[in-house]
Amino acid sequence: MLTAKSIMYLINVVIVLVGVIFTVVSIGVNHGNKKKVQRCKVLTKGRVVDMQREASTSNTDGVATFSWYPVYEYTADEHIIRKRSSFGQAKQAFYPGEEVEIYYNANDYNEFYVPKEHTGKLIMAFQIIGAVLLIIGVILFFVIKLL
């Protein structure tokens, strides 16, 4: 039978694990973004040609949430490239016809990034959440030990 103290330790472990997951994900995404920036050096003007709205449903409550994904069109060495961003946002941040700066990879025209997408804010949010959960986990560990 589990005691109250062992249940608190289990909850503490879950909090720490979630904190570690958030931290690791933020580090991985940040690393991937930095590598993409290193590879995508060619600057061109592009435009938003479409905004795709995509629904996702949580398995727990069945409530649908929506994300907006911009579709960009740009020219890379006389090739017209049309690609959907992998970064969706809850609010529509771009509008069809809007011009944007696009950096693409000279060796792979389909790899690109748009500085205006502000993926850094999402990474920062994951880092802060991860750090806060880890700090709470450490504090709880010592508080539980005192009980």
DSSP 110-141: EEEE-GGG-HHHHHHHHHHHHHHHHHHHHHHH
- pLDDT at residue 31 greater than cutoff 70: yes
The pTM for the full model equals 0.78
Q: Is the pLDDT of residue 19 over 80?
A: yes
pLDDT, the chain, mean: 93
CA distance 93 to 62: 26
Q: Determine the structural domain holding residue 106 and report its residue range.
A: 4-146
Domain tally, the chain: 1
Q: Give percent of the chain above pLDDT 70.
A: 98
Q: Give the per-residue pLDDT at 27.
A: 95
Residue 67 in contact with residue 99, Cβ under 8 Å?
no
Place of tokens 């709470």: 136
Cα(55)–Cα(33) distance, rounded to whole angstroms? 25
Give mean pLDDT, residues 87-110: 95
The 3-class SS string of 44-107 reads EEEEEEEEEEEEEECCCCCCEEEEEEEEEEEEECCEEEEEECCCCECCCCCCCCCEEEEEEECC
Rounded Cα–Cα distance for residues 146 and 135 (Å): 17
Q: Encode pLDDT of 105-126 as tens digits.
A: 999 999 999 999 977 888 999 9
Is residue 42 within 8 A of residue 106, CB to CB? The reply is yes
Give the end-to-end CA distance of the chain in Å, rounded to a whole number. Answer: 19
Q: What is the pLDDT of residues 39-82, one digit of tens each?
A: 999 999 999 999 999 988 766 677 788 999 999 999 999 999 99
Whether residue 138 is predicted with pLDDT greater than 90 in this model: the reply is: yes
pLDDT value for 82: 98
